[in-house]
Structure 1
Amino acid sequence: MKKIAVLTDFSERAYHAAEYALLLAARLQANVLLYNSFLVPSAEPLAGQIVWPMEDYDEIKNGCEADLEKLKARLEGKLADQTNGFRPKIECRAHDAQFDLTADEFLRDRDLLLFVLGNHQKGFSGLILGNHTREVLNRSALPVLVVPEKAVFEPLHKIAFATDLGQSDLQVVQSLTGLARPFNAEILLTHLCESTPENSRAVQDFLHEVTNKVNYPHIYYRHLEEKHLREGLHHMAETVKADLVVMVHRHKDFLERLFSRSHSLDLAEHTELPLLIFPSPAKFFPVI
């Protein structure tokens, strides 16, 4: 059975993302996995200098599991008035490790479609708590749906995919058809580049590949000309009037990470639209 995993820290921001995921799962006829990754004192840098009693681990784990059950009950209350349609089953899982240490555990489950999380808190407190969005995007081998705190779930009418026309983006488009089909939504391919003969040929070649290899009737293309990519992405998110923006998160080498930042991370932090981010390279593309 298809599943959507919700990564939660039990904040209201995370609950909002979980509620969005639940309503999306109902439309996709998928179940929901609530997941919390907690750290025990022995995992902390100075833990080797201190003797921690085993009771600490049990207390932390039991508290985490209790919080997951409370979150599950709160979400199930949202389904109480639903008399028809698919009702997702909700599963809870707590793990005593950081997210990146357990990613392989998720990848063994080929029914898992994507991860969902709320965007991290901005400002000084967000800096102190750490940017969980950045950590998950850099470690995930599955698509990640970032849900802003002001985003309200609505049936999808338009999905905007900011593509750079790479060959792997064809697989992203194919995956998106499974997300669009239950809503009969449009998939709008957008490409930010200057109008040159070389770019025009690349666009035509890519669209020809899409036509031949992707079986979905509502795929359209829109060219956006913007000198600066960062501004262009924000302009796209604001003007195409999409319900969901899609990007590919390209991993960078050390020097690139040092002197620049990911465009997908930047957009995830500032957009008010739900943002679905595919990893690159990807081990496999889930059939959403």
Structure 2
Amino acid sequence: MKTLLVATDFSENANQAADYACKFAGQLGSNVQLIHASSIDTDSPLQVIWPIEDQDTIIGRNDALLETFSAKLQNSVATSSGPDGYIPSIRVRSAAGEVGDLIRETVQLEDIAMVILGLSGNGDLKRLIQGSCSRDSIDFAEYPLLLIPQNAKFVPVKKIAFATDLSISDMEIIQLLALLAARLNAELLIVHVIGDREDTQLTHHINEFMKELKSRVNYNQMYYENVYQSKLEDGLNWLADHGGTNIIAVVHRKHSSTSNILHNSHAQKMARHTNLPLIVIPEGYKGMLF
């Protein structure tokens, strides 16, 4: 069974994201790994208070906090899902070091479907986990991310919208999302945002894309739609407001100067203007979501 990996620094934003993640796991029938990393700068005066030999004590205290928090999360899931709902098991782990390192280590060791992080109120990727997760660590992530905006409230996922630039390479990602949507019994909406720039070949590109899509992805709740907005984030925000969408999904193209979702701050802008969670899947990802 795939597991959702949730990192928390015990801040309000991170804890809200953890609550969302556990309820999402309940809908998926998956379990949760809850982690916390304690990092102390070696040049910090805190080393005088917390010497290296006391790290085991710090980790033990954090484990106790995680256990208490996990019990609270399970109770929250049980209350919202009712007596017949699935209650995910929640494993906890704390360690000394950087949260990015702990995330990568856990992804390598465990059967992780995606990593879930809470966005700060201003949508700044540098503050995904209060001062602990840098933009670079997200930019080079080799695993799917689910970013939860501040104050996002969980509702059962019934529609996922995936933004495509009509690249044939998106087919593998769409296949993964179709499997996720099927597990949730949700619609999968494939969206192309059409900007102001005229493209005489657009109809041809759409037809070729749809032909390939129908031949490679068989999901009876999958639909295609053009959205007419000048910018990608405006189009996705329009979907959030008008399309009945619960989650938006995008591809992270690491080496593209024109369509790199995170590098061009589309995710940051969206986090400031929408309360919808955002799935970010690295281009070329070969794993399985579930």
Q: 2:287 aligns with which of 274, 277, 285?
A: 285
Q: Distance in 1 between matches of 2:76 and 2:230?
A: 45
1:216 aligns with 2:219: yes
Q: 1:243 aligns with which of 232, 246, 258?
A: 246
Return closer, same or farther for 1:198/1:131 CA change in 2, 3 Å cut-off. Answer: farther
Q: 1:54 aligns with which of 52, 55, 58?
A: 52
TM superposition shift of 1:263: 1.7
Counterpart residue identity of residue 184, structure 2? F
Q: Distance in 2 between matches of 1:122 and 1:2?
A: 31
Return closer, same or farther for 1:23/1:135 CA change in 2, 3 Å cut-off. Answer: farther
Q: Which residue matches 1:203?
A: 206
Q: Percent identity?
A: 33
Q: Which residue matches 2:84?
A: 84
1:193 aligns with 2:191: no
Return closer, same or farther for 1:80/1:234 CA change in 2, 3 Å cut-off. Answer: closer
Counterpart contact for 2:114–2:289, Cα < 8 Å: no
Q: Count the aligned residue pairs.
A: 281
Return closer, same or farther for 1:181/1:163 CA change in 2, 3 Å cut-off. Answer: same
Q: 1:65 aligns with which of 63, 66, 80?
A: 63
Counterpart residue identity of residue 173, structure 1? I
1:174 aligns with 2:175: yes
CA RMSD of aligned residues (A): 3.2
Q: Distance in 2 between matches of 1:123 and 1:274?
A: 12
TM superposition shift of 1:103: 4.4
TM superposition shift of 1:197: 3.7
Following superposition of structure 1 onto structure 2, how do residues 1-288 of structure 1 map, counting pairs within 5 Å?
1-42=1-42, 46=43, 53-81=51-79, 82-109=82-109, 111-122=111-122, 129-130=130-131, 132=133, 134=135, 137-194=138-195, 196-252=199-255, 261-282=264-285, 284-288=286-290
Return closer, same or farther for 1:223/1:19 CA change in 2, 3 Å cut-off. Answer: same
Return closer, same or farther for 1:69/1:186 CA change in 2, 3 Å cut-off. Answer: same
TM score, norm. by length of structure 1: 0.84
3-state DSSP of counterpart to 1:88:
coil
3-state DSSP of counterpart to 1:83:
coil
| Residues 227-284 of structure 1: CA deviation (Å, up to 9, x unaligned) | 3334333333333221111111222589x99xx73323332343211111112343x2
Q: Distance in 2 between matches of 1:199 and 1:18?
A: 41
Counterpart residue identity of residue 140, structure 1? A
Q: Distance in 2 between matches of 1:28 and 1:189?
A: 21
Return closer, same or farther for 1:165/1:59 CA change in 2, 3 Å cut-off. Answer: same
Counterpart residue identity of residue 2, structure 2? K
Return closer, same or farther for 1:87/1:230 CA change in 2, 3 Å cut-off. Answer: closer
TM superposition shift of 1:203: 1.5
